Chain A
């Protein structure tokens, strides 16, 4: 198993936002996280990444069989976890190129990676400075492609992106998650989506719906998305597959 979350509870500013979460993701699988605003989706990703402020009060996280519950963020990243942030900070004065060159684990040159995503011009811009919503998403993906992680956490990769660019981003993610491979596919993903648009580009294996900090439904992500769209989150939770 690549990622195993066991009975995980997480607090933010003294308030428990995730309760007893259990989740397993194996190599090559793509999982989707559904849930309305404030349900705890981002908190779960942040806790997996180890971001401060998301305090684990109970349970544990195993990655590649190692207990990472209390590992520093960068150790997790080095072990192979990568994350695209929904609202990443701006880092003035630091060129995107400088960062990519430090983290590039892809085998290809920084230039080649950026060109393959058609974002070569990002390299000479300060990290996230003055980037539009769509540009931020692409820049996050650029960094993830360079990082070459084994588990990719994507926090709403399509939000704030126009239709044309959703196609571009969808295809980048599809490649990132090695959808072109079958048996050799090793990389796994955990993707938060509200719009479901990303599902048109990914064959996702499993969906999980969070409601009030707990996983309330699991199943086929397309079916779950249809149910949520037609009947709402509450109704989807009630069906309890």
Chain B
């Protein structure tokens, strides 16, 4: 047995709990799922399903996308690429083609992190592999959709994303379920490698069901002069999501920007954060979250670790309570390891001010319209560097969700 397998088995045997989030009994989920046929045109979906896809940024026409990948339960049902210099494979195919991807597989994420990473190894279902060759700038985003259609299953995904030197890529990951799906579990390990001077923008939109549990495990390695931008949006019901991606700025002048938008309706528990470790001179980071509780629970974490003098980073956790129920706990954490780091944070949790509402009402808006406008403004994080088209999609998702939260 390989060393990785041994470690995974040990962590699983010890039922190693995650640092954060409610503990999940993994035995409560089916390990097997039906096999789905390959769908070369992504055409085998109902209008309702296509609408679900669109809500997480996935267009089944593949228009304005450089490539598309779709994992349905455990089956990769679609994988296509239209841009030269960009590789997109199912993870199983990539492991076979590249002899286990020894330089990348479990090199960023530790398989022993917790029982979820262990399970992702022991019950590996599939995932996607993306590599942009050196110097290649993908015209359109690549879209990857992770979809649960079968009631009660666990979906254990492991992805590897590599942006070679000087390349540029936008990746949209949309996660959703079949209409009216009940229980489900998604474990997603993502290992992201951004090499010298490359830029990766990762936009992830979650729209799981209200009885689905979600445990992503992501580590991002950012080399010299490279940039990682992450936009995470989760505005629909989910039983629980707990994630705390770690970004390591390893090369000098590397940059990370993490934007998170969360809306927790009643019954949803979201424990979401972002940690950036500034390990080289000249590195910079910005971690911003805007969270709304409409009756659900939110823990918004953020952590900056400064290892070198002169690094600069800022953390912002702003929460808005729209309901008497629910809670928002903002936990910003600054960890300076040497003199000369420049790190700051601001955190605020409150309700919409009556003064703002009445100001807009004095302009003729009714109370509901005034509230909607203020909420929209609150969620309107300027996602710097985001292509206009993606910003439009996020704006659209926010405005569509407005109704359901108010």
Q: Which of A71-87 contact B (CB under 8 A)?
A: 72-74, 76-78, 82-83, 85
Confirm or deny: A143 has a beta carbon within 8 angstroms of a beta carbon on chain B: yes
If the complex has contacts A89-B355, A89-B356, A94-B377, are A83 and B362 also in contact, measured as CB distance less than 8 A? yes
Interface of B is mostly: helix
Instruction: List A residues 91-124 near B (Cβ within 8 Å).
Output: 91-94, 98-99, 102-103, 105
Question: Quick one: given A74-B366, A77-B361, are A93 and B355 in contact (CB under 8 Å)?
Answer: no
Tell yes or no: B369 within 8 A of A by CB: yes
Interface residue? B97 (CB, 8 A): no
> How many pairs of residues, A versus B, come closer than 8 Å at their CB atoms?
70
- The answer to whether B376 has its CB under 8 Å from any CB of chain A is yes
**Cα distance, A51 to B380, chains bound together (Å):** 27
A126 at the interface (CB under 8 A from B): yes
Check B373–A94 contact: CB distance below 8 A.
yes
B137 → chain A closest CB, angstroms: 29
A127 to B355 Cα, complex, angstroms:
14
- A52, B380: Cα distance in complex, Å: 28
Is the pair B359, A126 in contact by a Cβ cutoff of 8 Å? Answer: no
Tell me the minimal C-beta distance from A12 to chain B in angstroms.
Answer: 14
In the assembled complex, the Cα of A223 lies from the Cα of B354 at a distance in Å of: 40
Question: B317 CB to closest chain A CB, in angstroms?
Answer: 15
A82 to B359, CA, bound (A): 11
Chain B contacts of A82 at CB under 8 A?
Answer: 362-363
Q: How many Å lie between the Cα of A126 and that of B374 in the bound state?
A: 11
Q: Could you tell me if A93 and B364 are in contact, using CB atoms closer than 8 angstroms?
A: no
List A141-197 residues whose CB lies under 8 Å from chain B. Answer: 143, 147
Question: Is the beta-carbon distance between B373 and A73 smaller than 8 angstroms?
Answer: no
A74 vs B366: C-alpha distance in the bound complex, in angstroms? 6
Collect the chain A residues with CB atoms within 8 Å of residue B354's CB. 52
Are B373 and A102 in touch, CB under 8 angstroms? yes
Asked if B361 contacts A91 (CB within 8 A), the reply is no
A127 to B378, CA, bound (A): 12
Nearest CB on A from B348, distance (A): 11
Main secondary structure of the interface of A (DSSP, over half): mixed
Q: Does B358 contact A (CB under 8 A)?
A: yes
Q: Is the CB of B363 within 8 A of A72?
A: no
- B404 contacts chain A at the CB level, 8 A cutoff: no
State which of B359, B365, B374, B378 has its C-beta within 8 Å of the C-beta of A88: B359
The CA-CA distance from A171 to B373 in the complex, in Å, is: 31
Contact indicator per residue, chain A 131-143, by CB within 8 Å of chain B (1) or not (0): 0000000000001
Q: Smallest distance from the beta carbon of B387 to chain A beta carbons, Å?
A: 19
B363-386 Cβ-contact flags toward A at 8 Å (1 or 0): 111110110011011111100000
| A237 CB-CB contact with B under 8 Å | no
Question: Given the known A-B contacts A89-B353, A89-B356, are A73 and B378 also in contact in the complex, defined by CB atoms under 8 Å?
Answer: no
Distance (whole angstroms) from the CB of A47 to the closest CB of chain B: 13
A92 pairs with B362, CB closer than 8 A: no
Enumerate chain B residues within 8 angstroms of A88, measured Cβ to Cβ. Answer: 359
Q: With A and B bound together, what is the CA distance between A43 and B313 in angstroms?
A: 45
Contacts of B361 in A (CB 8 A): 72-74, 77
Show 7 A/B contacts (Cβ-Cβ < 8 Å), sorted by A.
Answer: A73-B358, A74-B366, A77-B364, A82-B363, A93-B376, A103-B364, A105-B364
Give me 17 other A-B pairs in contact (C-beta within 8 A), A51-B362, A91-B377, A94-B377 excluded.
A51-B358, A72-B366, A76-B362, A82-B362, A91-B359, A91-B360, A91-B374, A93-B376, A93-B377, A98-B373, A99-B373, A102-B363, A102-B365, A102-B369, A103-B364, A126-B377, A147-B364
User: A interface vs B, CB < 8 Å?
Assistant: 49, 51-52, 72-74, 76-78, 82-83, 85, 88-89, 91-94, 98-99, 102-103, 105, 126-127, 143, 147
Please name the 10 residue pairs, one residue from A and one from B, whose CB atoms are nearest each other, closest first.
A93-B377, A94-B377, A93-B380, A77-B364, A73-B361, A74-B361, A103-B363, A89-B355, A89-B356, A74-B366
